[in-house]
Amino acid sequence: MTQLPLTVKFQLHAACAAFITQRIEAAQAAMLTAQESANSETKSSAGDKYETGRAMAQEERNRNAVQLQQALQLQGELARISPELASDAVRPGALVHTSIGRFYISISAGKLTVDGQDYFAVSAAAPVAAALAGKHAGEEVMFNGKKIRIESIM
C-alpha cells in the first residue's frame, strides 16, 4: 500500500520537529551542567584556579546558550512550513524527488528515513536547495558538475 505524499510530508515534518526538540533538550541540559559546575567550584588557596574553573564553566554555558538559540531559530523556521500544502515548485515545505535523491526543503536535519525510504531534510539556503529553488517537475539543473532532474514535487 502506497502512502499519500502528504502523509510522508507530515512524517518528515514531525521528524524535523523531533530533531529540534532533541537539540533544545541537549543544549538546556548542557547549560545546566555547566552552571552547576561553575556553582560547585570552591575557593582554594590557589585563587586563580578557582577563577579559571568558573570562567571555563561560564564559557561552556555560553556556547550551549548559542546552540539553544540556534535550535529555537530552527523551531521558528519549521513552524512557518505547512506540510499539508502541496507544491508545484521547489520552495520551503516542498518534498522534491530528484535523480540524486529525495529532499524535504525545511531545515537542515540531515538524513531521515520514512517507511524505508531515505530523505534529506535541507534548509532552503542549502546549496542543493538553492540550485533547485523555483524549478518544476521535469526540469533539470546543474549542481556540482552533475545534472539533476526533478522527477516530482509534492
pLDDT digits (tens, 9 = 90+) for 13-48: 999 999 999 999 999 999 888 888 777 765 554 555
Q: Are residues 65 and 131 in the same domain?
A: no
Mark whether 134 and 74 lie in a shared domain.
no
Structural contact between residues 98 and 148, judged by C-beta atoms closer than 8 angstroms: yes
Same domain, 56 and 100: no
What are the tens digits of pLDDT across the range 90-129? 999 999 999 999 999 999 999 999 999 999 999 999 999 9
As a whole-number percent, the residues of the chain with pLDDT over 90 amount to: 72
**Pair 100, 111: CB distance under 8 Å:** no
Q: Do residues 121 and 135 make contact, with C-beta atoms less than 8 angstroms apart? A: no
Mean pLDDT of the chain: 89
pLDDT over 50 (residue 2): no
The verdict on 73 and 101 lying in the same domain is: no
